[in-house]
Amino acid sequence: MRYQVHYPYLTLIIDSPIAIEELFKEFHLSKKTIHLLKQEKNYTVNKRYVSPTTILIKGDQLTLKAFQEDDGMYTPLYQDLDIIYEDEFLLVVNKPPFLQVFPSDSSKNDSLANIVSGYYHQQGYNLPVRFIHRLDYETSGLVIFCKCAFVQPLLDYQLSIKNIHRHYLAIVEGTINDYKRHCIPLPIGKDRHHNQKMIVTHHGKEACTYYQCVNSHQGLSLLSCTLTSGRKHQIRVHLAHVGLPILGDSLYHQPSPLIARQALHAYQLELVHPITKEKMTLICHPPQDMKTIIQSIDPQL
């Protein structure tokens, strides 16, 4: 779908017949959001307000208030930001290790969300900071931020039905002798005896992790992992449970002299763009601490 942006308005240029209400539902807007759009007449078709039951035809221009103003939730922090992809709707960044996606409490400003806020301010964007998913403090890799309130419900929905595919690289302790794709379909829940830990338990929530060995060398293996659910610490818990603990994961295994953190990196995202419907594949390479160990496992990588 073609579009034009004139902040805070978005104009969608319709390419096939659809009722306005149905289009709103396709973007998974809440009943409250749809009600407010109607009540406040925050949309027009070809510069005129029309009934929400109106059928749009090819070439019609639906203009609506799609962007919100910065709500000041995250104090700006002016640090370098590794941007992998950006357009009017999405910002995808490479999170370094040892950084929270959002601050642990409102008095702190030491998170990725604060750095994104600083970037928005530097660019003159009057936008709230909204992340679509999270990574652990020590885990590096790709994180999606949504810049447009209109498309955020659709992105949240895509994530909930597993249409945003997240791929990770993990270095684990242990040798794997095959290169087949394995599945760990075990439920995960809180460890009642340890505040910070999760465990495999039949009382937990459904979780499924796929992993495949890329190469093994001298007791270490490089795995490619894919999630079909997003439980807290999921890859770490599942791999430790099957005897393949992540290197350097001091919570679920033990520290390592080879790396100062858990060797886990979110290296690839696959998603459908919420507006253009283009299939997107975004990749970022692991940081140097993991790269050095990966090259010792497989020098060709």
Residues marked active site are found at 136
Q: What DSSP state is assigned to residue 68?
A: P
Contact 166, 226 (CB under 8 A): yes
Which phi-psi region, left, alpha or beta, contains residue 2 (left: φ > 0; alpha: ψ -120 to 50)? beta
Task: Give the count of beta carbons closer than 10 Å to the beta carbon of residue 119.
Answer: 22
Nearest to 113 by CA among 143, 74, 142: 74
**Helix, strand, coil percentages, rounded to 5, for the chain:** 20, 30, 50
Pair type for strands 140-146 and 264-272? parallel
Residue 213 near residue 176 (C-beta atoms within 8 A)? yes
Record the tokens describing residue 22, joined without a space.
């149905």
Q: Are 237 and 256 in contact, with CB atoms under 8 Å apart?
A: no
Among 235, 238, 270, 269, smallest CA distance to 138 is for 235
Among 261, 255, 258, which residue's Cα sits nearest to residue 297? 258
Give the dihedral sign, CA 27/33/34/40. Answer: negative
CA 176 to chain centre: 29
* Cα(232)–Cα(17) distance, integer angstroms: 42
Count Cβ atoms below 10 Å from residue 292 Cβ, excluding itself.
12
